[in-house]
Amino acid sequence: MEKFATLEPVRLYKTVNNRFSSTFTKPATHPLIGRLPTDLHLLLLTHLPIPDFPAYARASHATAAMADNEKVWEARWNALQVDSDQTKQLQLILDQLEEKVLSDRGEKQRVAPPTISVVVDDEFGDFASSQNTNSNALGLNTLPSQDELGDFVGATPSFSSFPPVTPSFQPARPGISFGFHLPRKDTFKSKYIRAHRLLKPLTTALSSPPHLVLLELINAAAPTTRGSTSASIKQQAQVLKLLSLFLSPRIQPLRAWNSLYASLRAAMDRFDASLLSAFDVADGNNDEEGMREAANASWDVWKGQRDGVKQGILRVGIGFSAQEWEMGKVWAEKREVFYTHGQWDPLDNLTKDGGLDFDAMDEFMNHILKSIIEHGSRAVRVFPPASQVLILFAERLANEVVGEYVTTLLTRAREVSTAVYLRANAASLRESWRMVDAIVQAASEREDSEVSREKAEDVVYQMFETNMDEYLDEEVESLKVALEGVLKSWDKQVEHSSKGNAARFLNSYNPAQVKRNVLQSFTDVLLLPVTIVPRTVGAVGGAIMTGGSAAAQGIAMLNPQRWGGNTNTAAANGAASGYSRQLEKDGRTLFDGEDEDEPDSASYRSSIQVSIPPSSSTSSTLHSPIISKESVEKLDFLLSLDAALELIHADREVLKRVETFAGYPGHYGHRVRDTIEEAFILMLQALGERHIVKGFTFAIERMNAYKPAEHEETTSVAPLLQFFELVHIGDMMQSMVQVYFDKELAPHIDKTDFLNAVVREKKRFENMLDDSVASGLNTGTQLLMNQVEHIILTMTKPREYYPPEDTPLDLGPTKGCLEAIKCLEMHCKLLKGSTSKEVLEVFYQEVGIRLIAIIQKHIKRQIISLSGGFQVIADLNTYHAFISSLKVPSITSDFSHLKMLGHVFVVEDAKDLAQIVRDVTRYGGAYRPEDIYEFIQRRSDWKKIEKVVDKTMYNLSFKEDCTIM
């Protein structure tokens, strides 16, 4: 143990006595210069005026180094926009200015005595001279004098812009020469110093009288290359732009930069006015080349003003936007189209009977499109792409001409009716949308026009923004009124007509094929072309679709109620009108195509409304039930495909109108999509809550009131048959909603988003329908089984299972069994194809479970002899065969066990019977011995065999076990 050193306690965490100590002891992120971090020094230098740099740099070695930081000079250099100029015009201007200065310097050197440039190894050489310290310290004020600067406008007066500079000896940093030529270093500081030296001499001209500033400034910058003494308009504009950027708040190159910039801006305004005059002259002469030259020069000057002050807008109180460019505004104002629109009357689009006919607006828009293509194409060719004059011209045309036309039209349409107002809105946008193609066509005159289709669309969208809130609100309100009208109309029909036409889905030979035909026809109606812009009065009187009245008729005729006809009339005319397929649409029948299993017999189709007795040739097919017109009120009349289709059609009219605005960006784009979703939700709520649920609820109430004993017909249960028709119609409605959702709504929403309001409401609608069907099927199942029990009770003879001894045995099923199975089979097959497989399986299972209970109860009421036991077995086998055809494994096994139960009635030996009763494995655990014991008590010989069975089953001996005290 002595070999090991003692462990000392280690402090895991540092103790902080003062809650502020961590803040004070935290090392600085950046090194300090004085009491301030370097990043703060850089921030200050970024906004420091250039004349203050020498004073800052003299403070210390560290501040001198900070004054040379490239980040500081990068900001200054980028503010001149020389590198960002794609045309390299600004760089060319600097080169021309340098060439001019060098040329003038060469002339003076020939007549001046020689000078010597001395280079001294002094770290602070930049600040050694006391002469003009603020500028010379950075080497920014060593330009020689100029005797003649030339003239931009043609005149060449003798003018000396700059006083001669007396050469002097100045110490400098190693490697830096204070002659004019700077070393060509690729640094932002060297680039800026070169530009500063070239541009600073031009600022002296800004101190001249206002009317001479422009002339002197242009003369001072006039190039002298190749003997030229004047600059082009483009060069003049670039010089003014460059000087405007130089005297900007971002750079602040001189102490008096603010006053100099004010003088420069006045000069630029004079220059722009002269360009505007030149542009007008060229425009009058259709001289596009002259217009282009003046426009480009004016844009450069204006852009220089904007870029020069946009960093200091709050300081100088000036703001700029492309719409304020004077030349673009003046050119647009002089277009004749703005002053001739009074000859077009918007009210010509309204007919005398309150309809719409947009031929007048079509003619008006042709005039507008012609102007856009003609003048817009010239604007693209003449003006710089960045000026967006085409878009500005189109926006003004849309707001002042087309917008005024549309507003007048909509105001009047609003007074006529809401329906006309809504159709006029959608039609007006569709007509105005033609401007987009015209703008894009005009923009194609130039590849670099910078006019995208989105910008062209925004022109039209912005024009309609003021009207969108009212329009979208009216669409929703109008849909609510339309849906309410459809529902009230149907309710009135139900009240006044309780018996509908007997031709329905159940009366069809193949309901599944009928549904496919209906859905196909419904899809065809949905795919009909939509005409938003009405051209004739008849085309928009009641619908917005092409052939609106025909489409409305096509929708109405989809209802199976309309397929049926009078069988007598059909027979008289020699045609089958019970299942009419003569609804013509586009040259073909509305319901074309036959199922391969459907016979072509016209006599069969014409007789589907009457009773069809079973026959051997059609025993495997489903026969139409007997429906007596005098039976009860038609429950299947509670739901109507006509009403459902009218509700869908009302929503589709709204959808197709609002869909015109579906491309809206931003806030109104969301509002448009919300309106589309809200309209569909309102339709689902009206169809589900106000129509389907209401119909099923009333049907269930009527089924509960049905008493089988009060009706002579035993095979069919009229209320249940009619409820099955309701299920078919409800399933058809759900299918149509699904088709409508997939065709029309899916493009506007994300179907996979389970949180979407439309997806949730659609799921709620489907659940509502399923719940209604399930509730009705529960009641219907009970009603059906009551009927089955009634059939078995009434059609089973008193001694059906206890025949006389001399009666010959007939091993076929009893009449009660056959009729019960016939009733069950018919109703089960009627429901097939009208609901989901899961619901159908549950229905079959309920039927089987309740049928077992009925059969067991029926057997317990009988007295069964040995010969009658074979009759019981025959009936049980028949029930088992029927249940097996339903293909529901759970109830099939139950009936297999029930079928085995029949053997207890045909075993003669009592001991053998007792062994069968005790063998619980024989019935798969479905029956206990006590249950079997109850059944064997119905044997006619039970009194004879009771003691033997009891003794064998329970090992009982009454003599030994029973003692009477």
The pLDDT of residue 342 is above 90: no
629 pLDDT band, cuts 50/70/90, is very low
**Local structure of 93: helix, strand or coil:** helix
Length reported for the chain: 965
312 pLDDT band, cuts 50/70/90, is very low
The pLDDT of residue 572 is above 60: no
Q: What is the pLDDT of residue 126?
A: 41
**For range 734-741, the mean pLDDT:** 91
Most confident region among 48-52, 210-214, 532-536, 597-601 by mean pLDDT: 48-52
Q: What is the pLDDT of residue 922?
A: 81
Q: What is the pLDDT of residue 463?
A: 93
How far does CA 826 lie from the centroid of its chain?
A: 47
Q: What angle do CA 765, 768, 774 make, to 5 degrees?
A: 140
207 pLDDT band, cuts 50/70/90, is confident
371 pLDDT band, cuts 50/70/90, is very high
Residue type, 509: Y
d(CA 742, CA 759): 12
Which pLDDT tens digit goes with each residue over 825-865?
888 887 776 667 787 888 889 899 999 999 999 999 999 99
Most confident region among 151-160, 511-520, 550-559 by mean pLDDT: 511-520
d(CA 560, CA 851): 34
Q: Are 556 and 645 in contact (CB under 8 A)?
A: yes
Q: Tokens 């209604």 sit at which residue? A: 772
Percent over 70 (pLDDT), the chain: 71
Q: What is the pLDDT of residue 766?
A: 92
d(CA 392, CA 1): 95
The pLDDT of residue 602 is above 60: no
The pLDDT of residue 748 is above 50: yes
Q: Are 135 and 193 in contact (CB under 8 A)?
A: no
Is the pLDDT higher at 133 or at 281? 281
Q: Are 299 and 325 in contact (CB under 8 A)?
A: yes
Which helix (H) or strand (E) is 492 found in, with range?
A: helix 453-496
Which pLDDT tens digit goes with each residue over 898-944?
888 888 888 888 888 888 888 878 887 788 888 888 888 988 888 88
Contacts of 143 (CB under 8 A, 6+ apart): 101, 162, 165, 180, 197, 200, 201
Which pLDDT tens digit goes with each residue over 244-297?
888 888 888 998 888 888 888 888 888 888 888 899 999 889 898 999 888 888
d(CA 445, CA 121): 62
Query: CA dist 397 to 291, 334, 375, 463, Å?
Result: 22, 12, 11, 10
Query: CA dist 102 to 181, 191, 653, Å?
Result: 9, 17, 78
**For range 232-253, the mean pLDDT:** 85
**Of 857, 861, 936, 924, whose CA–CA distance to 894 is shortest?**
924
**Tokens standing for residue 599:** 């016979």
**For range 684-700, the mean pLDDT:** 90
Q: What is the pLDDT of residue 14?
A: 52
505 pLDDT band, cuts 50/70/90, is low
The pLDDT of residue 153 is above 50: no
**Of 448, 438, 329, whose CA–CA distance to 384 is shortest?**
448
Name the pairing type of β-strands 584-585 and 588-589.
antiparallel
d(CA 364, CA 429): 14
Q: Tokens 């089958």 sit at which residue? A: 576
Q: What is the pLDDT of residue 425?
A: 93
The pLDDT of residue 439 is above 90: yes
407 pLDDT band, cuts 50/70/90, is very high
**Local structure of 819: helix, strand or coil:** helix
Half-sphere exposure of 659 toward its Cβ, with a 13 Å CA cutoff? 17
Q: Are 560 and 503 in contact (CB under 8 A)?
A: yes
Q: Are 265 and 307 in contact (CB under 8 A)?
A: no
Q: Please, what is the angle between helix 257-284 and helix 326-333, to 10°?
A: 30
Is the pLDDT higher at 551 or at 518? 518
How large is the greatest C-alpha to C-alpha distance in the chain, in angstroms?
A: 165
**For range 355-383, the mean pLDDT:** 92
317 pLDDT band, cuts 50/70/90, is very low
Is the pLDDT higher at 504 or at 534? 534
Which pLDDT tens digit goes with each residue over 874-907?
999 999 999 999 888 889 988 998 888 888 888 8
The pLDDT of residue 308 is above 90: no
Least trusted range by pLDDT, from 453-462, 643-652, 700-709: 700-709
The pLDDT of residue 738 is above 60: yes
The pLDDT of residue 71 is above 70: yes
Q: How many helices (H) and strands (E) does the chain have?
A: 37, 4
Which pLDDT tens digit goes with each residue over 91-131?
888 888 888 778 777 766 666 666 555 444 443 334 333 33
343 pLDDT band, cuts 50/70/90, is confident
The pLDDT of residue 161 is above 90: no
**Across-strand partners of 848?**
none
DSSP 533: S
163 pLDDT band, cuts 50/70/90, is very low
Q: What is the pLDDT of residue 117?
A: 52
Mean pLDDT of the chain: 75
Percent over 90 (pLDDT), the chain: 24
